[in-house]
A and B are shown apart, each in its own frame.
Chain A
Amino acid sequence: VVLDEPAALQPNSQVTVLAAENGKPGALAADSRSIEQEFEVLSKKWRDDIGPESSLSRITGNLNYLRIISLGWSVVPCILRDLQREPAPWFLALRAITGEDNVGREHAGNFKRMADVWLAWGRQHGYI
């Protein structure tokens, strides 16, 4: 285990190790397979939950969608690969994670075009 700085702990201190979340682009999770598996589970639950929902507010407000956002930068390649498969509305999640507020906004409503712009962004930044 490597810490950023020496840790001064009192005797009998309890230490909890948490996975890094919401890190920067260069700090992708070491275990990308587990992130991929978590994305697969959560995105399937999301699709099951939203079913025939038409409200984009409810689609992107679903708890599983929000959990995917909470996975942070390390889930961005998974989202982009999903976008390559079909233009599901991952745009809010991508904006929330990356801080790229303007990508694809000019095509609001046209999910295919919005997905294309995000995929171009992903290729440009080396995520896919």
Chain B
Amino acid sequence: VRLSADKEGRWPYLFSEGYQVASQPTWDYNCIAFAAGCESEWWWPDANGDAAWPDKVNREEQLACFAEAFATIGYQVCEHSDLEPGYEKIAIYARNGIPTHAARQLPDGRWKSKLGAWEDIEHNTLKAVEGDIYGQAVLFMKRRAT
């Protein structure tokens, strides 16, 4: 199943890298919550406090704050996005140094993302959702699989 042409066209590599839609659109959760394993909240460090964010982590749109947020659920920064048996990995995307998106790795090495309030997708590579919207995957974190 593919996204509508209008949506798919927003990512230059999405179709060529390969992906499939895995859910219906919803405002229930976003990519950050989804990467953290939560499908009932929208996570973001917004200054107005409408989104969920770990209490002890600064509400600032900085990579360090996102790394701290994921550290609260056991993730540690790692060097690469390659599949490592026994570990769960996430990738954080940034554009001009500002976090934009996160994806989580599937057990087969592919990735899964929630696209804002749009659908979840499974994508073969991190490059699939790189581009003007999300920028590039710049930070990788891992934790032991449970």
Contact = CB atoms under 8 A, between A and B. Distances in A.
Question: Are A and B bound to each other?
Answer: yes
Interface of A: 50-57, 60, 86-89, 91-92, 105, 108-112, 114
Interface of B: 7, 10, 27-28, 30-33, 40-44, 46-53, 61, 100-101, 114-118, 133
Contacts, number: 75
B10 A57 contact: no
Contacts of B49: 105, 108
Contacts of B27: 86-89, 111
Going nearest first, the 3 A-B pairs with the smallest beta carbon separation are A109-B52, A52-B116, A109-B41
A60 B7 CA distance: 21
B50 A55 contact: no
B50 A89 contact: yes
A102 to B, nearest CB: 11
A92 B50 contact: yes
A52 B52 contact: no
Contacts of B53: 109
Contacts of B133: 51-53
Nearest to B51: A56
A111 B50 CA distance: 9
Contacts of A111: 27-28, 42
